[in-house]
Amino acid sequence: VANQIGKMIFFGTLAIGKVMFPISAETFERNEKTKQVIIKSFSAVLGICVISLIVIALFPNLIVGLLYGKNYLDISGIIFNIGIAFSLLALSNLIFLYGISVNRVVKLKYILAFILFQSIILFIFSANIYNYSLGMILSGVVLFSISLISIRK
């Protein structure tokens, strides 16, 4: 249930990446600067994520109660963490899409290393759902860092 709320943030921002990709690819192919494209797209995704996180922080019980009913109110305490994790995923996704559109691709060895890291982190943090949500945030921070490094020249 908590992951579904996080996925709403992620899927709610996908359209921005889908619009940004061809624009930045065409701009790059014309040898023009693409910085404004990623800045505007990043700002839009960040804005959606921040607004979503504010709403989740202010009304966690209301959100869970309306979407899933009173039986699931116990997860209200972790949906903010899940929201942060999926916000980092949404921002990372946008940056990776931008990187692909301007021919900056992450090497396979880094992707495989991240998958191994994420598996270990989520295993270590698997004692309970709250700890797992913290592991997801840590994993998201690392993925976001990798995405930023991958687009640098």
pLDDT in tens, 19-52: 999 999 999 999 999 999 999 999 999 999 999 9
**CB burial of residue 133 (10 Å; 0-12, 13-18, 19+):** buried
- pLDDT band of 152, cuts 50, 70, 90: confident
The tokens 């869970």 sit on which residue?
64
Tens-digit pLDDT profile for residues 91-149: 999 999 999 999 998 888 888 999 999 999 999 999 999 999 999 999 999 999 999 99
Count of beta carbons in the 10 Å neighbourhood of residue 142? 17
Position 106 scores a pLDDT of 81
Position 153 scores a pLDDT of 62
In this model, does residue 2 exceed pLDDT 90? Answer: no
Q: What is the domain extent for residue 141?
A: 2-151
Number of domains in the chain: 1
